[in-house]
Amino acid sequence: MCFKLFLAFVALFFCKEKTCNPQDFGAGSVVCVCNITYCDEFEPVNVKPGFATIIESSKDGKRFFRRQISISTRKENKATYYETDPYFEIKINRAKKYQRILGFGGAFTDSATINIESLPSSMARRIVRDYYSNYGIQYNVGRIPIGGCDFSTRPYTYDDVEGDFGLKYFSLSKEDLKFKMPSIKYASKVSKSPLWLFASAWSAPTWMKTSNSLIGGTLKGKPGGKYYEIWANYLINNGILVSGLTAQNEPQLNFPINSMNFSPKNERDFIKFNLGPALKRSGYISKNFSLIIVDDDIIYLKPFTSTILSDKIARKYVSGIAYHWYKNNAYPRDLIKEVSERYPDKLLLSTEACIMGNISLGNWSRGEAYAKDIIEGLNRGSQGWVDWNLALNMNGGPNWVNNYVDAPIIVNSEKKEYYKNPMFYILGHFSKLLAPNSIRIDVSINKSQSNEAICAAFETSKHETIVIVFNPMSTDMNLNIRDPNKGTIVTKLQAKSIMTIVYN
């Protein structure tokens, strides 16, 4: 009796689905509020033969809403779904395969982890679980700034002792020890797949730079010279190089935040004469480690890759190419595709994205911007997508140069609450089910005129098929997935929504 009661209690306690606790701040949709006792979470997804599991989020408030429908294997029901416009038909062409997925993630900046640690520790741990665990959106990638960036509370590097050419005073910061590392360690503990962590530096110490400031300028001297050599050693010294390193964050940035410029030639020669050999000496090149170039807007993909990768020596040190999402709507996105096709042996990743400007709690259109960018990038060969700050405060900071932006999780430490924006769920529509090593597969689309829905399809290493469809339009539509091997899935795609469909 007692035992039965206990079991019932356990079942009630553990099996009750924890759904979104919505709050409307007037920005078009809702956030899900998490406090010390409550937060929504997602049970792992079970795939049943003959059924498709559909996961849906929408502007009108659905968040990871889950249902199962059966897959029809009847042949004669063709085209009965088109009776009403608009429609969107996806035909799966499994035989044609494209890139392998590396993963999805966000950045463990000083500010993100200061915000996380400003909450009671049980909540701080839970934010990391929301992102990285099976009960969250299962990120498997993390970006780590080497030293400070603008999302720090002060300007600093790991060696601010003027003229310390031997890097005798090099040391990690209190931010690393107190804020970044606890979050990173916990993420790696709760993540099911091994974390793929990569690091990027924003600026060298002022004494190594022509601007004598953390903002702007270049390294003093020339590639191959003293300052470039010290800088290569500095990058390797930091002890947080795990799976990858970008040669420089935004080498072409001209904006008043921590930054340091490299021309394509200088990045090439820095890699060729200093960074590549230093990585090799330290054993990184022979490990499963990626030195990644560009790490800037897509307009720089071509000049940097063609200059760096046409050099035989530089090329052998480089295993990846990264781009950032800023101005992606201003340039042709096929710049991504060109690079992916020209360098099929190199990893290709989107490594930074955020909505600039003030936070906007529950803003669905910001989530839509993420959905569009992720799908358009994946459909052009990108192997993953990495968000910027994991969590920001109610001002979109802290940021020591007042460059405030938005984030998928906003922390209100005064109220001991945090808010999950639509961007969080939209990212989850990709990261949660699209496990590392999934392969993108071809689709052909038949849709009604001026239908702006977009989609991408994948096969996981467990042979599950994943289709992600995003509807930016204000009308519902008939959705029809035809898979010659498995049957037909007929459903409705709601106005202003995103859907992940998984079947075996």
Name the DSSP class of 194. P
Which of the residues 38 through 57 are near ligand NAG (CB under 6 A)?
38
What residue number has its CB nearest to ligand NAG?
82
Please identify, among the stretches 221-229, 261-269, 302-310, 359-367, the one whose residues bind ligand NAG according to the rule CB under 6 A.
359-367
Q: Kindly state whether residue 206 participates in binding ligand NAG, applying the rule CB under 6 A.
A: no
Coil, strand, or helix at residue 123?
A: helix
Q: Which residues are catalytic?
A: 250, 352
Q: In 109-243, where does DSSP find H-type helix? A: 110-117, 121-132, 174-175, 181-190, 226-237
CA 392-257-272 angle, to 5 degrees, is 110
Q: Which is nearer to ligand NAG, 306 or 437 (CB)?
A: 437
Orientation of helix 334-342 relative to helix 301-309, angle to 10°: 10
Binding residue for ligand NAG (CB under 6 A) from 112, 314, 355, 481? 355
Minimum separation from the CB atom of position 34 to ligand NAG (A): 8
Please identify, among the stretches 128-136, 168-176, 353-361, 481-489, the one whose residues bind ligand NAG according to the rule CB under 6 A.
353-361
Binding residue for ligand NAG (CB under 6 A) from 68, 358, 402, 461? 358
DSSP states along 52-116: EEEEEEETTS-SSEEEEEEPB--STTTTGGGSSS-EEEEEEEEEEEEEEP-EEEEE--HHHHHHH
Contact in structure between 418 and 122 (CB atoms under 8 Å): no
Strands 497-503 and 51-58: antiparallel
**What Cα–Cα distance (Å) separates residue 317 from each residue in 243, 392, 456?**
14, 35, 32
Which among 493, 343, 346 has a CA at the least distance from the CA of 429? Answer: 493
H or E segment at 244?
strand 244-246
Q: Kindly state whether residue 27 participates in binding ligand NAG, applying the rule CB under 6 A.
A: yes
Q: Kindly state whether residue 366 participates in binding ligand NAG, applying the rule CB under 6 A.
A: yes
Backbone dihedral angles phi then psi of residue 110, each to the nearest 5 degrees: -55, -50
Binding residue for ligand NAG (CB under 6 A) from 8, 79, 161, 445? 79
Binding residue for ligand NAG (CB under 6 A) from 139, 196, 325, 418? 196
N residues, the chain: 504
Minimum separation from the CB atom of position 263 to ligand NAG (A): 30
Strands 497-503 and 409-412: unpaired
Q: Kindly state whether residue 365 participates in binding ligand NAG, applying the rule CB under 6 A.
A: yes
Location of structure tokens 């800088």: 231
Minimum separation from the CB atom of position 73 to ligand NAG (A): 19
Binding residue for ligand NAG (CB under 6 A) from 8, 36, 161, 177? 36
The token pair that represents 308 in the structure block? 């760096």
Minimum separation from the CB atom of position 38 to ligand NAG (A): 4
Which of the residues 278 through 297 are near ligand NAG (CB under 6 A)?
288
Minimum separation from the CB atom of position 394 to ligand NAG (A): 10
Please identify, among the stretches 70-78, 207-215, 350-358, 374-382, the one whose residues bind ligand NAG according to the rule CB under 6 A.
350-358
Q: Residue count at the site for ligand NAG (CB under 6 A)? A: 20
Minimum separation from the CB atom of position 180 to ligand NAG (A): 22
Q: Kindly state whether residue 357 participates in binding ligand NAG, applying the rule CB under 6 A.
A: yes
Q: In 290-333, where does DSSP find H-type helix? A: 301-309, 312-317
Binding residue for ligand NAG (CB under 6 A) from 51, 82, 135, 170? 82
Minimum separation from the CB atom of position 369 to ligand NAG (A): 7
Binding residue for ligand NAG (CB under 6 A) from 93, 319, 446, 504? 446
- Residues forming the site for ligand NAG (CB under 6 A): 21, 27-28, 35-38, 79, 82, 102, 196, 288, 355, 357-358, 360, 363, 365-366, 446
